[in-house]
Amino acid sequence: MARFFDKLLNLDRRWLFLLVFLGVAVPIILPIGLPVTTTGPTRSAFEYIEALKPGDYVIISFDYGPSSAPENDPMAEGIMRQCFLKKIRVVVIVLYQLGGLQLASNSVAKVSAEFPNLKYGVDYVNLGYKDGAAAVMKRMGDDIAGAFPTDVRGTPLSQIPIMKGLRSLRQVSVVVTVATGLIGEYWITQAHQQSGVPVIVGPTAVGAPKYYAYLNAGQLVGMLGGMKGAAEYEKLLAARYPELGRFYKTTRAFTATKGMDAQTVIHFVIILFILIGNIAFMSRRAAQKKA
Amino acid sequence: MPDIGTWVAALLTLFAFSFLYKDNPLFRFTESLFAGVSLGYYVGTTLNQTLVPNLIKPLTHDFNQNWDLLVPGLLGLLLYMRYVPKTGWVARYALGIYVAYYIGLDFTRRIHGEVLPQLGRAIVPLSHLDGHTIFYSLIFAIGVFSVLIYFFFSKEQDQFTRRIARVGIWFLMVSFGAAFGFTVMGRVALLIGRLNFLILDWIYPLIGIR
């Protein structure tokens, strides 16, 4: 037995990589459809947007890049779908430099194609990317057009119908920051504190723990933590809107709900690794003590 | 058949993954390509999305209304003076203003956005709360207090404060554990995204599965 544990402790870690690879690949090829349970912070975010009226303004800030797109894309797109269904006016902005603009443009194009009755510039707009997130938010608190003089296509804001009634962050019903890194924090600690605009954050799982402190202090109205949060949101959307339920069930595109199958399997594999590793370590230590 | 973009993305993904076996030239090529493309993308996006609409267009279209933009524009240019050895010192003025602006912004952000609201949450009247919330708030208060004691380095810890600090360590360990769990979930999500792309967008169309 001691030999076996010794072998395990000296196992080439590339075998573990292979097992992790299989743990992720198999559920993608053969989906299991494991259930997703919802949590308080996600429900709060969902219900807050549900309570908004048609014509209210929501800013969706794409504060992430391709490196976290599998987690963040489903959040941004889910919330956009909910807003479009409720006829809430959506203003998309980008504050993350590396790839955020491309992802925002892709998501806007993808989701708006599902709602052909909505019109660009009237029901939604993409204002594009601005450098210097904290300074941009400071300016938006007083004058959105000062920070974003044109939309992503170069059209002046004064010529865009949706922007005619919107001057500052104070008129926005909620800012949804789908974020990696620090920009999500800026929305809470600066924009929310300065202008009082409510904030929902959709952080990557890596960033999620720090946002619980803000949630606890009442500085956030809700949070979608990582891929799990996105899957919860998809579940809430599917339950409230049958058309979205059908969409999430039949779409070939990647959704967070599909990703959660692989997440669950791989967590099981990792827990198993930790248990086996610890048992092997303790057995070897016990054997050494005996010797 | 997958298009050329999918092929490039799929092969670069495999090159990046090849590092898991061992370091190799294909991985280093991908790494360098990624760094170069990222920088080029950043420069291009900042030029098109920030400098042109926020600085160049306002100055060229309506100079009288926007002449004040010359000041930040000039300060930005001054930053590049560091590449001219004789006049490199000029860049320090621009950098000084830049740093001062962000210190001012960050200072108020930290105080009003973090310290005061978090402090306010830590001091709640227990008289109006139900049993569950009181219990939760007490745990919260013990956590804050013990962790603060652990990080209090101005006085050597005695037997009493060392015990409180020990409780603080437990709270920290729980938070590190939660952070680690979330980190694993986040990293796995990235792997799911890549494998999802490789399987559904590259391999399936390649072998004719729709």
Burial of A1 per CB tally in 10 Å (0-12, 13-18, 19+): exposed
Nearest to A67 among B46, B106, B190 (CB): B190
ipTM of the complex: 0.86
Mean pLDDT, all residues of chain B: 91
Count of CA atoms in the C-beta half-sphere (13 A) of A103: 28
CB contact under 8 A, B58 and A219: no
Under the banding of pLDDT at 50, 70 and 90, the label for residue A269 is: very high
Distance of CA A23 to the CA centre of its chain: 23
Last residue of a domain, one of B61, B84, B108: B61
Q: Is the dihedral of CA B99, B105, B107, B109 positive or negative?
A: negative
Residue B114 touches chain A, beta carbons under 8 Å? yes
Is the pLDDT score of A128 beyond 90? yes
Is the pLDDT score of B157 beyond 90? no
A172, A55 contact by CB (below 8 A): no
Residues of B in contact with A137 (CB under 8 A): none
Helix axes A13-29, B159-196, angle to 10 degrees: 60
Residue B82 and residue B44 in one domain: no
* pLDDT tens-digit map of A7-24: 888 888 899 999 999 999
Last residue of a domain, one of B39, B61, B83: B61
A40-254: CATH number? 3.40.50
The 10 Å CB-count burial string (b at 16+, else e) for A30-50 is eeeeeebebeebbebbbebbe
Whole-angstrom distance, CA of residue B121 vs CA of residue A188: 15
Chain A residue with CA closest to B191: the answer is: A24
Residues of B in contact with A28 (CB under 8 A): 192, 195-196, 199-200
Nearest to B188 among A14, A214, A263 (CB): A263
Residue B143 and residue B206 in one domain: yes
Closest Cα in chain A, distance from residue B131 (Å): 18
Residue B85 and residue B99 in one domain: yes
Is the pLDDT score of A243 beyond 80? yes
Residue B80 and residue B159 in one domain: no
Mean pLDDT, all residues of chain A: 93
CB contact under 8 A, A149 and B54: yes
Closest Cα in chain A, distance from residue B199 (Å): 8
Q: What is the DSSP letter of A149?
A: S
CB within 8 Å of chain A, chain B residues 2-21: 20-21
CB within 8 Å of chain A, chain B residues 60-89: none
The 10 Å CB-count burial string (b at 16+, else e) for A145-164 is bebbbbbbeeeebeebebbe
Residue B200 touches chain A, beta carbons under 8 Å? yes
CB contact under 8 A, B20 and A14: yes
Strand partners, A177: A61, A201
pTM: 0.90
Residues of B in contact with A14 (CB under 8 A): 20-21
Give me the pLDDT at residue A140, please: 95
Give me the pLDDT at residue B70, please: 95
Is the pLDDT score of A40 beyond 80? yes
Report domain extents, chain A: 2-30+259-290, 40-254
CB contact under 8 A, A217 and B182: no
CA dihedral B24, B29, B35, B38 (to 10 degrees): -130
Is the pLDDT score of B32 beyond 90? yes
Q: What is the layout of strands, in order, in the sheet containing A124-129?
A: A124-129, A89-94, A57-63, A174-179, A199-203, A222-223
Closest Cα in chain A, distance from residue B37 (Å): 10
Give me the pLDDT at residue A38, please: 95
Percent of chain B scored above 90 by pLDDT?
Answer: 74
Give me the pLDDT at residue A240, please: 94
Residues of A in contact with B179 (CB under 8 A): 209
* pLDDT tens-digit map of A161-186: 999 989 999 999 999 999 998 899 99
Closest Cα in chain A, distance from residue B87 (Å): 27
Whole-angstrom distance, CA of residue A97 vs CA of residue A94: 8
Please give the average per-residue pLDDT across A228-250, as a whole number: 92
Residue B142 and residue B204 in one domain: yes
Burial of B73 per CB tally in 10 Å (0-12, 13-18, 19+): middle
Percent of chain A scored above 90 by pLDDT?
Answer: 79
Residues of A in contact with B59 (CB under 8 A): none
Give me the pLDDT at residue A290, please: 82
Our count of domains for chain B comes to 3
Is the pLDDT score of A256 beyond 80? yes
Residues of A in contact with B76 (CB under 8 A): none
Query: Which ranges of A99-225 does DSSP label H, i.e. alpha helix?
Result: 100-113, 133-142, 144-147, 183-186, 193-195, 208-216
Closest Cα in chain A, distance from residue B171 (Å): 14
Is the pLDDT score of B131 beyond 90? no
Residues of B in contact with A101 (CB under 8 A): 45, 49
- Of the given ranges (A64-78, A180-194, A240-254), which has the lowest mean pLDDT? A240-254
Under the banding of pLDDT at 50, 70 and 90, the label for residue A122 is: very high
CA-derived radius of gyration, chain B: 27
Residue B37 and residue B111 in one domain: no
Q: What is the DSSP letter of A125?
A: E
Q: H/E element holding B49?
A: none
A176, A58 contact by CB (below 8 A): yes
* pLDDT tens-digit map of B38-91: 999 999 999 999 999 999 999 999 999 999 999 999 999 999 999 998 888 999
A231, A256 contact by CB (below 8 A): yes
- Domain containing B8 equals 1-61
Residues of A in contact with B42 (CB under 8 A): 97-98
Under the banding of pLDDT at 50, 70 and 90, the label for residue A3 is: confident
Percent of chain A scored above 70 by pLDDT?
Answer: 100
Closest Cα in chain B, distance from residue A252 (Å): 9
Residues recorded for chain A: 291
Closest Cα in chain A, distance from residue B83 (Å): 23
CB contact under 8 A, B140 and A21: no
Query: Which one-letter amino acid corresponds to residue B169?
Result: I
Strand partners, A63: A179
A223, A215 contact by CB (below 8 A): yes
